[in-house]
């Protein structure tokens, strides 16, 4: 498996990572264990989770039970900020909340440090300097090695990086944002800022919640039990008329080139030098194998140009 630097951190991670938002929810502990075991056996070294995944803590708890002595072999990433109670009060990015949230994550993950601790989404109620100072303290205490962010706008990202620089605080090394063949708006606003500062992108929804996996067909019923079959408004956003048109065009391109839609989706992301690792979720070990194989495909300049014409 190809290894890439995690932004400016110097840490190397596998080109394909494992996203675990299905753990503790869509799949049980033993199914999660099979996915993790396959991922580690195939050379995946980045595992990404969040405190809110798995019905508020379930994903982290599953990883804590599964990893054991293999914890030292991976770069473990988690996030904080989303609501961790039904009332929606345990959330945010204040100093006080971060202090509690990191201890809870460490406890669930059964580890004494987090490799990459990420702000899950911006907190309008807390100044970014307060958030960054709290995270800087965690880095100095050895509880967190590096910090990242997710879902920040371009102005919010620029402000955060400026605050870190002005005050000598730990700075974000990665952003985690939606990025795939159907969603490329990131390239216009946040990417120039990230390139300026050498940050890496960890793309989520690399397969557009499965629409780019090849298992969905326009005009056909959604596969029973699939993610999009029960996602409500999220499915409505993904399954737009525009996206179906693009998927049909990409599917035809893949067929002409003797490839699969999955190979186009994963290898397109692998061709982006600003992506250290593609966060790909899986509910079965076979999906891990398929994702890794698809990312190993190399697209020609002509194929990339065709993809641009279809997706931009």
Is 263's pLDDT higher than 90?
A: yes
Report CA dihedral (234, 101, 177, 275) to the nearest 10 degrees.
Answer: -140
Helix axes 186-197, 154-167, angle to 10 degrees: 10
CA distances from 160 to 79, 127, 165, 241, 262 (A): 17, 10, 9, 36, 35
Mean pLDDT to the nearest integer, 269-275: 98
Is 225's pLDDT higher than 70?
A: no
Burial of residue 259 (CB within 10 Å: 0-12, 13-18, 19+) is: middle
Q: What is the model's pLDDT at position 71?
A: 97
Q: What is the model's pLDDT at position 239?
A: 87
CATH superfamily entry for domain 3-217+263-299 = NADP-dependent oxidoreductase domain (3.20.20.100)
Q: What is the model's pLDDT at position 229?
A: 67
Say if CB 44 and CB 12 are below 8 A apart.
Answer: no
State the Cα angle at 246 between 241 and 252, rounded to 5°.
Answer: 130
Is 146's pLDDT higher than 90?
A: yes
For the chain, first and last CA: distance in Å? Answer: 29
CA distances from 142 to 98, 150, 278 (A): 15, 22, 26
Residue 99, phi then psi, degrees to nearest 5? -60, -40
Mean pLDDT to the nearest integer, 68-79: 97
Annotation marks residue 146 as catalytic: no
Mean pLDDT to the nearest integer, 108-124: 98
Q: Which of 53, 117, 146, 204 is catalytic?
A: 53
Mean pLDDT to the nearest integer, 165-182: 98
pLDDT band at 221 (very low <50, low <70, confident <90, very high): confident
Say if CB 35 and CB 63 are below 8 A apart.
Answer: no
Please state, as a whole number, how many other Cβ atoms lie within 10 Å of the Cβ of residue 183: 18
Q: What is the model's pLDDT at position 219?
A: 73
Enter the tokens of residue 120: 């899950």
Report CA dihedral (35, 39, 40, 43) to the nearest 10 degrees.
Answer: 170
- Of the candidates 243, 208, 253, the residue with the CA atom closest to the CA atom of residue 228: 208
Is 230's pLDDT higher than 70?
A: no
3-state secondary structure of 299: coil
């Amino acid at each position: 498996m190809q290894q890439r630097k995690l932004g400016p951190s110097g840490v190397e991670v596998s080109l394909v990572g494992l996203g675990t938002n299905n753990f503790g929810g869509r799949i049980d502990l033993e199914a999660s264990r099979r996915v993790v075991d396959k991922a580690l056996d195939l050379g995946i070294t980045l595992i990404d989770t969040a405190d809110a995944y798995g019905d508020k803590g379930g994903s982290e708890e599953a990883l804590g039970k599964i990893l054991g002595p293999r914890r030292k072999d991976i770069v473990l990433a988690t996030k904080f900020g989303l609501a961790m109670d039904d009332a929606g009060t345990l959330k945010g990015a204040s100093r006080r909340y971060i202090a509690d949230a990191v201890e809870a994550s460490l406890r669930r993950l059964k580890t004494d440090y987090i490799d990459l601790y990420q702000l899950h989404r911006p907190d309008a109620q807390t100044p970014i300097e307060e958030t960054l100072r709290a995270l800087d303290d965690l880095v100095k205490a050895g509880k967190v090695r590096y910090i990242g962010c997710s879902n920040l706008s371009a102005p919010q990202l620029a402000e955060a990086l400026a605050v870190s620089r002005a005050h000598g605080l730990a700075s974000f090394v990665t952003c985690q944002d939606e990025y795939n063949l159907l969603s490329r708006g990131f390239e216009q606003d946040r990417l120039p800022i990230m390139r300026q500062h050498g940050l890496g992108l960890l793309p989520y929804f690399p397969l557009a919640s499965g629409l780019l996996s090849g298992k969905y067909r326009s005009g056909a019923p959604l596969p029973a039990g699939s993610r999009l079959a029960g996602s409500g408004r999220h499915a409505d956003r993904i399954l737009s008329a525009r996206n179906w048109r693009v998927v049909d065009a990409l599917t035809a391109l893949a067929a002409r080139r003797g490839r699969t839609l999955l190979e186009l989706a994963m290898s397109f992301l692998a061709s982006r030098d600003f992506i250290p690792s593609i966060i790909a979720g899986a509910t079965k070990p076979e999906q891990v194998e398929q994702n890794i194989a698809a990312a190993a495909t190399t697209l020609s300049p002509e194929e990339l140009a065709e993809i641009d014409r279809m997706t931009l």
